[in-house]
Amino acid sequence: MSEIISVRRRRLVLGLGAGAGSLLLGGCDRLSSLPQTQSVLLSAQWLTRGAQRALVGRDSLAPEYTRADIAPVFRANGTLDPDNPQYQALAANGFKDWRLKVDGLLESPKEFSLDDIRSMPAQTQITRHDCVEGWSCIGQWTGPRLRDVLARVVPKPQARYVMFFCADPMDHHGDYYYESIDMRTAAHPQTLLAYALNGERLPIKYGAPLRLRLGRQLGYKMAKYVMHIRLVSSYRPFGQGRGGYWEDQGYSWYAGI
Ligand SMILES: Nc1nc2c(c(=O)[nH]1)N[C@H]1C(S)=C(S)[C@@H](COP(=O)(O)O)O[C@H]1N2
Ligand SMILES: [Mo]
């Protein structure tokens, strides 16, 4: 089955790219000035998902960079400090009482403390973050691979998607930021649950205490302030049914780069 990548994204990339460029902090680039990204994003607008996958290679590794490439100031975007009293209380106590709940279609539901997560074998990778608004930024991220965390809870064969529920409310009706990826993206070696940026504990504006990092998808997929992970067979029952907060506003569920 083919799926046309949303036309709305083209408008965002082409329309906002120029304007957003003038607002950038040092060390972050306009996406449109990077020829490789530009051609991939442009091609994604009219290729079917199947053709795009064949061209870009969903399972291939995103480029990794050197320390010299790290942006002096990583740009923060979206929620910068969740307007949520429970989250604020957890933050005030250094996230000692924070627990990552992992449940759904798996054999052994678990709750992980931050120390549990920090004691797992970690990856450190310097990768580029590409936002749909037309900017990109290179940073160094550290945390366990999602697939290693999932191995501890033992997914059932019916599990097709990983849902991420976040601490930041997005409106006054009790809707929170959320996202979803499929098991194939969850198993990718560059899919991390990151607790550090540039060697420091993740600051609040970048999603403390834990956020998702993907090698090959756009920024909005990378949920910050992750509180709860659930394995599901379908993302339709959640939110407006399109798999994520921005998807519910019309963005494409698959945001490959
Ligand atoms: N919980 C949550 N996650 C989020 C967002 C958000 O507003 N809330 N914004 C998304 C978008 S659009 C981008 S570009 C990145 C920004 O991450 P950064 O602040 O580390 O740059 O987070 C993504 N994840
Ligand atoms: Mo974004």
What pTM value is reported for the model?
A: 0.84
Both 147 and 214 in one domain: the answer is yes
Closest ligand 1 atom to Cα of 226: 1
- Is residue 233, in this structure, part of any structural domain at all? yes
Residues 94 and 160 reside in one and the same domain: yes
Residue 153 domain boundaries: 67-248
Which ligand has an atom closest to residue 244 CA?
A: 1
37 and 113 both lie in a single domain? no
Residue 137 β-bridge partners: 28, 129
The yes-or-no verdict on residue 171 having pLDDT over 70 is: yes
Check pLDDT > 80 for residue 151: yes
pLDDT in tens, 62-75: 999 999 999 999 99
92-116 per-position pLDDT tens digit: 999 999 999 999 999 999 999 999 9
State the average pLDDT for the chain: 86
Task: State how far the alpha carbon of 161 is from the alpha carbons of 11, 152, 157, 197, in Å.
Answer: 28, 17, 11, 26
In terms of Cα–Cα distance, which of 164, 215, 158 is closest to 187? 215
Q: Are residues 132 and 208 in the same domain?
A: yes
The rounded Å distance from CA 148 to ligand 2 centre is: 26
Per-residue pLDDT averaged across 200-217, rounded? 98
Any domain includes 81: yes
Q: What is the pLDDT of residue 59?
A: 85
Same domain, 29 and 115: no
Please indicate, yes or no, whether residues 37 and 80 belong to a single structural domain of this protein: no
Q: Do 161 and 115 fall within a single domain?
A: yes
44 within some domain: yes
Whether 254 is in a domain gets the answer no
Residue 39's Cβ-count burial label (10 Å; 0-12, 13-18, 19+) is: exposed
d(Cα 80, Cα 98) in Å, to the nearest integer? 18
Residue with the nearest Cα to atom 5 of ligand 1?
78
**pLDDT category of residue 19 using cuts at 50, 70 and 90:** very low
Is 216 exposed, middle or buried, given 0-12, 13-18 or 19+ CB atoms closer than 10 A?
Answer: buried
Report the pLDDT value the prediction gives residue 7, as an integer from 0 to 100.
Answer: 34
| 62, part of any domain | no
Q: Residue 93 C-alpha to ligand 2 middle, in angstroms? A: 29
How far apart CA 138 and CA 18 sit, in angstroms, is 20
- Tell which of 33, 56, 79 closes a domain: 56
The last residue of a domain, from among 56, 80, 100: 56
For the chain, the domain total comes to: 2
State the average pLDDT over residues 201-228: 98
Q: Are residues 89 and 153 in the same domain?
A: yes
CATH number for position 146: 3.90.420.10
Ligand 1 atom nearest the C-alpha of 137 is 21
pLDDT tens, residue by residue, 216-244: 999 999 999 999 999 999 999 999 999 99
Per-residue confidence (pLDDT) for residue 40, from 0 to 100: 45
3-state secondary structure of 182: strand
Asked whether residue 15 falls in the same domain as residue 124, the answer is no
Residue 61 lies in a domain: no
